[in-house]
Amino acid sequence: MRPGDWACLCPRTGRSCWCRALPGCGTALFAYLPPGEYVLTLGRKCLRARFRVVLPPGGSVMVRCEPGEGWWCWRQDFFHTSLNARRAPVRPAGYKPGGGAPRAAAPQGGDILYNSRDINDLRPDVAANCRVFLELCKAQGLQVMIAGTVRDEEYQLDRYNKGYSKAKRPSFHAQGVGLAFDFCKNVRGHEYDDPVFFQQCGAIGEAVGFEWGGRWKSFPDRPHLQWSGPGKTFKSSDILAGRLPPPMPLYRPQIPPQEEEEMTQEQFNQMLEIALTARAAERKDSPVAGWAAGAWQAAKTAGLLDGSDPQAPLTREQAAVLLQRLKLI
């Protein structure tokens, strides 16, 4: 920790801000903050760097300075990131040599590294399958947290300079594209140190339809999943050229069909008898249809029919009796 180190946290909208001078331990904590989007500004003499931070209700941000190494670290909701403070100096607005720690200026966007963790920033079809992925992981007892969805070019370049990526420009992660997301283990201090966890999550992601970065041979990226189109045919060069994959089908688990048991003749006869008995009981209480009421009463009065069960079928032996009563045979 060096003299004059400070940190400020300001809402993107409004004029309020919270500033902390880092004490001897080199640590400052902003705790139990209202939900929303903030700008975290880290300062050291003429150096300044700013980050976009999105906090849930009651969220916290912890800032720590590594003694003698020139490194800042900050933690937000169990997700870690780092910034090397020895980058090219950026003079804050209103800075005067020897004037102490400057006040945090309003965010201008030029030196803010944008890295969203919001699933809603993904393309809608990818976001829907991302949520399915989280539900499937939860069902398997895997504690998964989304660590990144879309980012700007400055953040991607920062990741490249630190060796976390081989690409200088964002493609699947780019703003306005939203075809990829990163995840980690939602356990404090063990976010990225469990290879079995990433193997299991990667298999689930592949089952949903994503391409898992853990299978890449040149630069494996185990916390990464992306939608590369059917057959994984779309590459980063396609995305940068504006060629995007078609919508990702929503994953639905395949339910194996159940084998049907063979039915014996005796079982069929029993089922048929039950069905006929039920139908006869239902028919017996049915009244005479309106269109046949007059004829039915006349046949009953003439003694041709006994007046019971008007909806019952007429067998051939019953038809013969009826014809005899009519003296037609």
pLDDT one-digit tens code per residue, 291-311: 888 888 888 888 888 888 787
What proportion of the chain, given as a percentage, has pLDDT over 70? Answer: 72
Alpha-carbon distances, residue 92 vs 20, 36, 51 (angstroms): 17, 24, 14
**Least confident residue range of 59-63, 100-104, 231-235, 245-249:** 100-104
Contacts for 42 with CB less than 8 Å, ≥ 6 apart: 6, 7, 48, 49, 50, 51, 63, 72, 74, 83, 85
Q: Inform me whether the pLDDT recorded for 129 exceeds 50.
A: yes
User: In the prediction, which pLDDT does 31 show?
Assistant: 66
Q: Between residues 92 and 327, which one has the greater pLDDT? A: 327
Residues of CATH 3.30.1380.10 domain(s) within the chain?
119-240
Helix (H, G, I), strand (E, B) or coil at 64: strand
Token code pair at residue 249: 């089908």
Rounded CA gap, 117 and 148, in Å? 4
Residue type at 166?
Answer: K
Relative to beta strand 112-113, strand 47-55 is parallel
**Least confident residue range of 64-73, 165-174, 223-232:** 64-73
User: In the prediction, which pLDDT does 256 show?
Assistant: 67
- Burial class of residue 56, CB neighbours in 10 A (0-12, 13-18, 19+): exposed
The pLDDT confidence band at residue 96, using thresholds 50, 70 and 90, is very low
Contacts for 156 with CB less than 8 Å, ≥ 6 apart: 165, 167, 168, 169, 170, 173
Residue type at 184?
Answer: C
User: In the prediction, which pLDDT does 243 show?
Assistant: 94
- Burial class of residue 311, CB neighbours in 10 A (0-12, 13-18, 19+): middle
Are 107 and 149 contacting, i.e. CB atoms less than 8 angstroms apart? Answer: no
Q: Chain-wide mean pLDDT for the chain?
A: 77
Average pLDDT of the segment spanning 9-14: 73
> Residue 108: which of 48, 156, 148 has the closest Cα?
48
Q: Please tell me the CATH code under which domain 119-240 is placed.
A: 3.30.1380.10
Q: Mark residue 78 as left, alpha or beta (left: phi above 0; alpha: psi -120 to 50; beta: remaining).
A: left
Q: Inform me whether the pLDDT recorded for 87 exceeds 60.
A: no
Residue whose entry in the numeric block shows the structure tokens 């700008």: 39
Average pLDDT of the segment spanning 269-279: 82
The pLDDT confidence band at residue 77, using thresholds 50, 70 and 90, is very low
